[in-house]
Amino acid sequence: SRINTMLNTGKLAGRTVFITGASRGIGKAIALKCARDGANVVIAAKTATAHPKLPGTIYTAAKEVEEAGGQCLPCIVDIRDENAINSAVQEAVKKYGGIDVLVNNASAISLTGTLETPMKRFDLMMGVNTRGTYATTQACLPYLKSGNNAHVLNISPPLNMKPVWFKGHVAYTMAKYGMSMCVLGMAEEFKKDSIAVNALWPRTAISTAAMEMLGGEQALRSCRKPDIMADAAYCVITRDSKSATGNFFIDDQVLKEAGVTDFDSYASVPGHDLLPDFFLDEAENIDPSRFGQQQSQSPAQETPAAAFEVIKSLITEDIIKSTGGTFVFDLQGENAGKYHLDLKTESGSAGVGELPSGDSADVTMTMDSADFNQMIKGQSDATQLFMSGKLKVSGNVGIAMKLQTLMSQVKSKL
């Protein structure tokens, strides 16, 4: 028979699990998995009031944890503030008597190049990802030393040193790898104390609110649900802490080793092609044509110039109003050249060359002309190209994401 989930075993009953960034997404999914065992869950996150675009607060997550069978302590914590971290740890110890497991899940992301990353954004990523993980672990360690089968689990990637994982977003990579370096060092440092320190990373993109903001609803179809990370995390933190330490685990591999054989239940859309996550070798050379159906095209529609004529014919007042941005496509390769798309001024425009106004574009997209053709045919989308390193976006990423609607209309016309 096919096993399609990791069942709860009760091993975390009465144990205290401290999770950062658990008001939504992967962190909340891990919290709920632990709750089903009857664990005491400490939610340390900064969302105390509802965000206009992101669902969930520490209080709504706490309610779900208690409904799932756990005890919960929601704490307002900005992970960059060690005083807030220490206060939450002390509250947890006072309420539950100690800390047995720490999950460093809180993370900040900005997939931007060096010139497009303001120092304020750099400091945010380093402060949340690397420093926040270090500070939270430091604050929990005195209690983990006397914990029951103590574990630290960082939601961070294997330390893959290939340049492709640095070139497009070096600041983000440094910040995530800082979390992974904590695993590398602390696993050895605290082995004598029987504290396991491991990393866990998803094989594929995960359908979270953050992923939807990065890639839109279309990207979510190529994702797995956060449950796969929750089940894998549960597997890791219930292992013997004396023997399972210093590992960089991948979610589905952990579950395969635990006996799970059917992964369709974890897919957002069962049977849909999955998008490999960052930092894994299999994601390095994604062929975007794997995503979506192949379509036959007439030779005239293979050139970017012809495509921009189609795009121009589709510009409407509504699209200009909803997008409000200007774009330059800097295409490389066989059909190299620059093409503009104005979805900001009153009538809009699209065609060969820079913007007719002479202004700088809000967004510049650099890619191979063959990849551009695949994108407008619907054989891949911008998110897939971006995550495989084949598309570089500079400028206002928020405006870039608004192109999805127009591109879906172009696809139907080609």
Residues marked active site are found at 172
In this structure, the chain runs to a length of 414
349-352 and 363-368 beta bridge pairing: unpaired
CA 16 to the chain's CA centroid: 26
Q: For residues 403 and 323, is the Cβ–Cβ distance under 8 A?
A: yes
337: left (phi over 0), alpha (psi -120 to 50) or beta: left
Contacts of 80 (CB under 8 A, 6+ apart): 124, 127, 128, 131, 132
Q: How far apart are CA 368 and CA 332, in angstroms?
A: 4
C-beta contacts of 386-389 below 8 A and 24+ residues apart: 386/111, 386/215, 387/205, 387/275, 387/276, 387/277, 387/278, 387/283, 387/286, 388/283, 388/284, 388/285, 388/286, 388/288, 389/164, 389/167, 389/168, 389/284
Q: How far apart are CA 124 and CA 112, in angstroms?
A: 13
Q: For residues 160 and 280, is the Cβ–Cβ distance under 8 A?
A: yes
Tell me the Cα Rg of the chain. Answer: 23
CA angle, 291 then 214 then 156, to 5°: 95
